[in-house]
Amino acid sequence: MKRFLKNTVLGAASLAALTACTSMKTPQNIEAVETGKGYQSQYREPAVARNSMGFLQSSMLNESSCLPEAGGSREAIAAKWGGPSLNGLLGEKLSRNDMVQVTIDGDDALSGTFVVSRDGTLKLPYLGAVPAQGRTAVEVERMLSNALVSAQFYKNPPRLTVRITDFASVVVGVKGAVFEPHAVEVGGIAGDALDTGRQNALGASTEGRNLAAALRAAGGVRPDADLSSVELHRAGRVYRMDLRGIFDGTDPTDIMMLSGDEIVVKSRHCFQDELMRPGPISPPGVSLFLSNLTQPATGNAVSAIGREVRQTPYGTRFMQAVVDSNCVGGSKTTNANRSAVLFSRNPITGVSVVIERDIEDLLRRGDRDDFDPYVLPGDSIACYDSTVTGIAEIGRVLGVVGTGLLLAQ
């Protein structure tokens, strides 16, 4: 009986070893990613013959499917920002729930601190509502002065000032070529971060309610975004803004958002490498979902991998993320030939893709940039141990099982 069990265990071990040596099937994708038809041209696997291929063809493949930029040439960027259609957007504009200080010379009854109502108006005692939503403090001063004269509080316009003392948060709709299109809330002050010195001073300013903040809150712009003509829908009008200079610092301004605004980012339907870098309207980083096996890390906890995700900078490529997740290195003789799989999704079509790469091959390819995709928000990575490590692990498990069977007799 013992001999029979011994032969059975040895036979099973041999079969397992042979099975482990066979390669897994190539992942099947609906999109033709190997020919550059997926979201990233880097998904494909080009030929590695150095004398029969051009290097770094990703940009060329991307450009072949790009829609023209709706905003025209980049030379028009200064004219677009300085055009009359955008002048009305510049400056600090009031929105509902903003706080203002109204001071009328010699009139303590009407002077005071007021909050812009939900209907976008400013309501002073004994005076009709004054429109404030989307207007500057200077414009509200003029309208308030005219209202006081019309209501016969004064024969001549009084001396008065309107100063913004606090900007409230606003809710803005963001849709189109962003990673998380939805209504976002931007601006405002966190409770324990209240700066009493600034609150007690006259005047107010904020960067948290700007266009860039709203785009970041919606996950940041995708690499297929058309930054030449980003639309702002406000009060029934559509404003088109050229944001192509925002990454190199030539974009001169950032529009302040108002409650009820809607931002629309169109898509060029192609992957633009130049947008895969940190910037004012990029995702703050990439949260990767990881799955790691036994080598070279013995577990997620000891390798400092969180229970669910790991953070990497935006613009990280697959190889960098694999290194960051402790899937590379170890003994060359037993652990070199590992592989890694990237689970991603085409954000335009919603179709998932699975990309498998041999780690050592990825390390040594001269055409690495054409073979090494970027990781995007929400991507997942799985690492597979080398063949030798797999055989050793199977042997360990079968040894435990065989010992248990022998002891049971």
pLDDT digits (tens, 9 = 90+) for 148-207: 999 888 889 999 999 988 888 899 999 999 999 999 988 865 444 555 554 555 555 667
What does the pLDDT look like over 33-70, one tens digit per residue? 887 788 888 888 877 666 666 667 777 777 777 889 88
What is the mean predicted confidence (pLDDT) over 229-251? 86
More confident position, 290 or 209: 209
Q: What is the mean pLDDT of the chain?
A: 78
Can you tell me the distance from the alpha carbon of 276 to that of 282, in angstroms, rounded to the nearest whole number? 8
Which of the four pLDDT bands, split at 50, 70 and 90, describes residue 405? Answer: low
The CATH 3.10.560.10 domain(s) of the chain lie at 74-90+169-269
Q: What is the pLDDT of residue 317?
A: 92
pLDDT at residue 82 tops 90: no
Q: What local confidence, expressed as pLDDT, does residue 132 receive?
A: 92
Is residue 2 classed exposed, middle or buried when 0-12, 13-18 and 19+ CB atoms within 10 A define those classes? exposed
Q: Name the CATH superfamily, with its identifier, for domain 74-90+169-269.
A: Outer membrane lipoprotein wza domain like (3.10.560.10)
Least confident of 88-92, 115-119, 401-405: 401-405
Q: Which of 46-50, 75-79, 141-145 has the lowest mean pLDDT?
A: 75-79
Cβ pair 335, 378 in contact under 8 A = no
- pTM, two decimals, is 0.75
**pLDDT tier, 402 (very low <50, low <70, confident <90, very high otherwise):** low
Give the class (CATH, top level) of 99-166.
alpha beta
Q: Please state, as a whole number, how many other Cβ atoms lie within 10 Å of the Cβ of residue 36.
A: 22
Structure confidence at residue 384 as a pLDDT band (50, 70, 90): confident
For residue 353, what pLDDT band results from cuts at 50, 70 and 90?
very high
| Closest-CA residue to 367 (of 52, 138, 123) | 52
pLDDT at 138: 92
pLDDT tens digits along 256-290:
899 999 999 999 998 998 899 888 899 988 887 76
Q: Is the pLDDT of residue 302 over 70?
A: no
pLDDT tens column, 93-103: 899 888 899 99
Q: What is the DSSP string of 146-163?
A: HHHHHTTS-SSPPPEEEE
Amino acid identity for residue 101 in this structure? Q
Between the two ends of the chain, the Cα-to-Cα distance in Å is 8
- CATH 3.30.1950.10 in the chain is located at 99-166
Of 278, 277, 308, 279, nearest to 291 (Cα)? 308
- pLDDT for position 354: 93
The Cα 317–Cα 235 span in angstroms is 41
